[in-house]
Amino acid sequence: MGMLKGRTAIVVGASSGVGYGCALRYAEEGANVLACSNEEEGLLQLAEEAAGLEGKIVTLVADVSKEEDLNNIVEKTISEFGRIEILACIAQGGLSHPTDLIHATSEYALESYTTGPLYTMLLMQKCFPYMKEQQYGRIITTSSGGAVSGTPGFASYAMAKGAIMSLTRVAAKEWAQYGITTNCFFPVIKARGFDMTPQGKAAMEELTRIIPVRYVGEAYRDCSPILAFMASEQAHYMNGQMIGIDGGLTLLA
């Protein structure tokens, strides 16, 4: 433990799933964390579970589609901790409208962009001055195998996730000179939604069959240790990379 001791992190999408596991692991590793999401219940549970850990978790309810809320995220982090060294943009909206390409609309596409690559870009810009002044930063973005394989039925989502890949690569080349590295991960992780419908259970069975390691990973156990490394000083030479945390489902070059 202690890989992130003394660091300050923002984790967006921290009320459930990968974001929840990430925020909890960061606090265990010694980081102070501003954990934000638009779902307050999950944040309260996170804060309760994190009580007594080496790092402190402060929660904030925020809607990433509103720039005012993005400003609040940064301002709250600075007022609480005085620094920003790690930014993990894990939240993604627009998943409530899975559509084939022929039925995709500008409304659905804009929702996926606003709650994906656009908020990620804006938060990166808002955190940049603090990271540049420190000559240190770790930015972690989230894409999906759907952006690589072109998963049918998720046109708007795949477009948005592809944009996040490009954003990551641009930041990696422009900002590394300031000690800021930017990397992207592709998770395939168990989520509560899989158990809520017959379709979700069927999808879980199919994933278990086709993932080479023959199981679907869990957020805290299988994903958060890698995200902790990506946020650490030890990852200083890893920059602009697309990293699958999916048991080998999507092989990235």
Taking each helix axis from N to C end, the angle separating 106-113 and 155-175, rounded to the nearest 10 degrees, works out to: 40
Closest C-alpha to 43, from 30, 59, 57: 59
Adjacent-strand bridge partners of 34: 10, 58
To the query of whether residue 130 is one of the catalytic residues in this protein, the response is no
Catalytic pick among 157, 178, 215, 220: 157
Closest C-alpha to 2, from 224, 182, 232: 232
Distances in Å between the Cα of 180 and the Cα atoms of 58, 59, 91, 177, 201 are 24, 25, 21, 7, 40
Helices (H), 179-234: 198-210, 224-230
Supply the residues annotated as catalytic: 157
